[in-house]
Structure 1
Amino acid sequence: MQKMQIAVNSAPAMADFEFPEYYSFPPFFTLQPVSATRQKQLALWRDLILKYHTTQKQNTLVLHECKLWKNEEIGRELVRENIRVICDDFVENGNGEWEDEGKTRLRILWKKPEELAGDLLAWATRSGFIGQVCTLYELSSGEDSEGASFQGADEELIRRALAILEDRGQVAIFKGDTSEEDGVKFF
């Protein structure tokens, strides 16, 4: 595995991210013409984008600022059209959403809301929060959620997952004075 430190979206340097071996394979940066090969390649791009952004705790990908598109060590870079294909595929597979009409900013859904709903319920069970109330802030940034898959996730994604649980009768959501103070009780 290749270790390198890069910053995305003009953020300060983050912790080392271990890039998969295929990131150093020059053909990875050119969309492949054979459909089956291209589908595997797009799946690898989805996985890379998700792992990178969740590891770096980043919820947004700005297309023209994303450092993933270029590997200077091997002198390869995606062309703009291929970036759009990769990002459109990312959205079509439910891993992200366009934040603007011009499709320049992509919200990263670290997990699909259905998956996150399961993670939230499993965490509540494991952590003794069944029958307890906690705030949205505590879920995304609290000490009790440290290391959980949803720690640091954007508020909108957590709300979607909680709405799924509420529809199933597994949580009740309470309105607080601010959005961070909104509460949730797990059943």
Structure 2
Amino acid sequence: MALTTHTTPSGFVLPSIHAAKPFFTQQPNPATQKTVTENWTRLILSYARHKKLFNLRVEDATDDKSEWDEVLRNPRIQRRLRPSHLAAILSSMVAANQAMYEPPNQTSSVLLFWRSPEEWAQVLYDWANSTGHLNTIMTFYEIVEPPVPSPLEGLPLPILRKAIAVLTKSARAQIIAVADGEGVRFLPGVPGR
């Protein structure tokens, strides 16, 4: 089979390497495996951004009903990414700060950073500014479950906390204790930050 791109039912274009059988196998040569892992990482993060997915679990590699099936499996070449290979890729992504284990203290489920915490911080701050929420206190729930569509809708709380931490360090946000849990006040930005 020729190595060509393929468009999935969801409209995502799989790169031509996805049609290569060795891509789905852990390689014994460390340099080759490093390249395979880098390609898988780009593919996973691109697909997550395309579908707005945040979670990836090792067991998704064997679940035909998983949201990840069209990426982790290629029926045209009869290949599927093995769970042990996916676990190694996720470990590499965590080490490179492109994902984080969630919940903590386990290694089979991650939250993906298809935007870095710094990028989410800018999205969050721009959203707060454009919606008139500077100098107001908002709960985390109001941010991730807004009444109108928002780029932050469905954002997992651990990623939101990382974004707020970035804003706090640059004096553009302040964590506030509120009756319903956690909240944040967005502060007018300091010029040049």
Whether TM-score is above 0.5 comes out as yes
2:187 maps to: 186
Asked if the contact 1:173–1:182 (Cα under 8 Å) also holds between the matched residues in 2, the reply is yes
Distance 1:115 1:183 in 2: 18
TM-score, length-normalised on structure 2?
Answer: 0.73
In structure 1, runs of 5+ residues without a counterpart are 6-15
Asked if the contact 1:138–1:145 (Cα under 8 Å) also holds between the matched residues in 2, the reply is no
Q: Displacement of 1:42 after TM fit?
A: 1.8
Distance 1:94 1:102 in 2: 16
Q: Displacement of 1:4 after TM fit?
A: 2.6
Amino acid in the other structure paired with 1:45: W
DSSP 3-state at the match of 1:142? coil
Larger radius of gyration: 2
Distance 2:19 2:41 in 1: 16
Asked if the contact 2:37–2:89 (Cα under 8 Å) also holds between the matched residues in 1, the reply is yes
TM-score, length-normalised on structure 1?
Answer: 0.74
1:177 maps to: 179
Amino acid in the other structure paired with 2:99: G
The 10-residue stretch of structure 1 (153-162 or 34-43) with the greater mean CA deviation from structure 2: 34-43
Report runs of 4+ in structure 1 exceeding 6 Å deviation. none
In structure 2, runs of 5+ residues without a counterpart are 62-68, 189-193
Q: Displacement of 1:71 after TM fit?
A: 1.3
Amino acid in the other structure paired with 2:50: T
- Between the aligned residues of both structures, percent identity stands at 23
1:142 maps to: 146
Partner of residue 90 from structure 2, selected from 66, 87, 93: 87
Amino acid in the other structure paired with 1:81: S
Distance 2:187 2:30 in 1: 45
